[in-house]
Structure 1
Amino acid sequence: MEKDVLTRFGVSMPEDLVNQFDQYISEQGYTNRSEAIRDLVRRVLLEPRQLNSEQLVAGTIVMVYDHHVSELPLTLMELQHQYHHHVISTMHVHLNHEQCLEIIVVRGNLSKLRELKQQIQVQKGVLYAELSVTYLDEDGKGHTHDPSHGHTHTHDSKG
């Protein structure tokens, strides 16, 4: 495997910001500022708004909702079935008597995943919904997944 060529550059910041950053990198376990900055840049570049809407991605939709809201669990399940080619797996956790946390592992064009997340987010009783993605290599070198393998549903009732 060929090593990437590293480029040095200087960054100017107010001293207070540098001190806060140094505290952050220490708490996160980084050994130097460069490692932390590289990770932050990668994270920013993988934000869904930075990627082309037709980009092939994989990621998660995390949501918290009130399962007592009439028909909401059924509506959310129906939405997942409408996007069954994009849903790989789900995990459902009961947070308390009213709230559930659901994590949906997804894969496909970013535009379709954004669409699914938006349809989830606007449902009455959904308190939180967020899409987080990572870029997928489309040149065939990486592992490919055939959605026709089906998907698993994990149900954890510990709470």
Structure 2
Amino acid sequence: MVNKKNIETRDTAEALSADFSPWRRKLLKGIIGFLGALGLGSLFYSGYKFLAPEASGPREIEIPFKEIPVGQTFSLKMGNTPGILIHDEEGNLKAFSLVCTHMACVVSWQPEKKIFYCPCHDGYFDAQGKVISGPPPAPLERWLVEVKGDQVLVRLT
């Protein structure tokens, strides 16, 4: 004996399924297209930000010479990049970016050891900014330092 109720339910479900099938396809295509565009957009934006970082802020800074006694440091910022000006015991002035060349973490100057240390991946740089150990592929960026009268001019190279 055939159950008429099951046949009617199945026929109704097939009819509804047939009615919504084109609508479902359009909806799925729209969702997939939107997600694909969103993914591509974020990929292009990330690539752009990596290849063309912001270059805002000063490209040179003047500091009164008297503010940097021998054996001391002076923190500065070039654009969005943190930096340091070091007046060593021999009287030399050196300026460096404090951004590690490995993964762009901020390094710290350790005056007692006369080294720069990157805590992210254990990178070490000497007092000249050269890599001592760790994963950094290149030395720290060194900035131009010029003494003009009673002013010290630090400039991006």
TM range (shorter): under 0.3
RCO (CA 8 Å, sep 6+): is it higher in 1 or 2?
A: 1
Who wins on radius of gyration, i.e. which is larger? 2
TM-score scaled by length of structure 1: 0.23
